[in-house]
Amino acid sequence: MNIRYAVIGTGALGGYYGGKLARVGKDVHFLFRSDFEYVRENGLQVDSVNGDFWLKEINAYRKSEDMPFSDVILVCLKTTTNHLLPELLKPLLHAGSIVIMLQNGLGVEEDLSARMPELSIAGGLAFICSNKIGPGHIQHLDLGKLILGSYKDCEPEILKMVVNDFLEAGIPSEMAPDLNLARWQKLAWNIPFSGMTVVLNNDTEQLMTNESTRILCREIILEVIAAANACGASLSELLADKMIDMTRMMKPYAPSMKLDFDFRRPMEIEYIYSKPIQIAREAGFEMKKVAMLEKQLLFIQESW
């Protein structure tokens, strides 16, 4: 079976992962917003630590109504626009379509399933440092691993085929036996580093160079791990030191939330902070440090 892919949101994630698939000849169709005209005329440029490439001609669309039915739909939008998903997805769906929520945070699959209960839904976690730096121009700085897991009514064989397509495209990929566990693991990095880079207006290198902020980031990671365990995810506290060490070795990086802050765009506070805090509280655990960070981010955003 040759899978037809649709990429909804061709930014830092969609442009990189979709671009890598298209580069090795996969059938990929990209939804653009502001970049449509530019990409139609100039193609998609990806600058990557693993080798730059340029896709001169790609299947670019301004509206999902103009796109073909797709077997696998990669949702790479920021979660701040998830209210648009029913309208965007419906023209792409056939009876066997799978929607993969390649987004940060907790609860994105649940909320989409509540809006569109007939959907087959999977989740995707991208462990990557990448940014959109211009029209049709993606910069991949470091990492890139992709983890996929079923949420509802997904044929395991189809997801395995998707993983194999990504592997063929040169992207380290694997199946997650427990999607909830994988989401909490990703949050253990996203929660401290996304928020702290905004609140302190700096990048990951500065957070790791300064002893006080390095200690605080580790304490927040440990709190996320404790919340995950209260919610049945079973994460080891050893993950905290592993993530600190990984971040110290990374190239200096401004997470997507920091870029949203810099450009005064809505930040993904709901799914990265508010939802995990709520879910942990319902399980009997209070994320006190994370709740403080959430309130600081809300204050910053409401002050614009």
DSSP string over 210-270? SHHHHHHHHHHHHHHHHHHHHTT----THHHHHHHHHHHHSPP---HHHHHHHTTPPP-HI
> Rounded to an integer, what distance in angstroms lies between the CA atom of residue 139 and that of residue 53?
11
Contact of 79 with 266, CB cutoff 8 Å: no
- For 187-199, the pLDDT digits (tens) are 999 999 999 999 9
Q: What is the dihedral of CA 216, 217, 221, 227, to 10 degrees?
A: 50
Quick one: angle between helices 12-23 and 156-168, nearest 10? 80
**Collapsed DSSP state (helix, strand, coil) of residue 289:** helix
Contact of 5 with 21, CB cutoff 8 Å: yes
Question: 75: pLDDT confidence band, cut at 50, 70 and 90?
Answer: very high
CA distances for 147 relative to 80, 99, 249, angstroms: 22, 15, 21
- Which amino acid type is present at position 167? L
Helix (H) or strand (E) holding 291, with range, is: helix 288-302
Given a cut of 90, is residue 34 above it in pLDDT? Answer: no
- Beta strand spans in the chain (E): 4-8, 27-31, 44-48, 53-55, 59-61, 72-75, 98-102, 120-134, 137-152, 173-175
Q: What is the CA radius of gyration of the chain?
A: 19
Given a cut of 90, is residue 155 above it in pLDDT? Answer: no
Tell me the CATH architecture of domain 4-177: 3-Layer(aba) Sandwich (3.40)
Query: What are the boundaries of each domain within the chain?
Result: 4-177, 181-302
> What angle is formed at CA 125 by the lines to CA 295 and CA 165, rounded to 5 degrees?
160
pLDDT at 263: 94
Out of 1.10.3720.10, 2.120.10.80, 1.10.1040.10, 3.40.50.300, the CATH code matching 181-302 is 1.10.1040.10
Contact of 52 with 46, CB cutoff 8 Å: yes
pLDDT at 215: 98
pLDDT at 33: 83
> Rounded to an integer, what distance in angstroms lies between the CA atom of residue 261 and that of residue 256?
9
Q: What percent of the chain has pLDDT over 70?
A: 100
pLDDT at 55: 97
Phi/psi region, residue 72 (left: phi>0; alpha: psi -120 to 50; beta: rest), is beta
- For 198-228, the pLDDT digits (tens) are 999 999 999 999 999 999 999 999 999 999 9
Contact of 299 with 127, CB cutoff 8 Å: no
Give the pair of three-digit tokens for residue 219: 């304490």
pTM: 0.95
> In the beta sheet, which residues pair with residue 126?
146
Give the residue-averaged pLDDT of 271-300.
Answer: 98
> Rounded to an integer, what distance in angstroms lies between the CA atom of residue 179 and that of residue 163?
15
Given a cut of 90, is residue 265 above it in pLDDT? Answer: yes
pLDDT at 226: 98
Give the residue-averaged pLDDT of 271-292.
Answer: 98
Mean of the per-residue pLDDT values of the chain: 96
Kindly list the catalytic residues.
Answer: 186
pLDDT at 281: 98
- For 90-146, the pLDDT digits (tens) are 999 999 999 999 999 999 999 999 999 999 999 999 999 999 999 999 999 999 999
pLDDT at 1: 79
pLDDT at 180: 96
> Rounded to an integer, what distance in angstroms lies between the CA atom of residue 214 and that of residue 192?
10
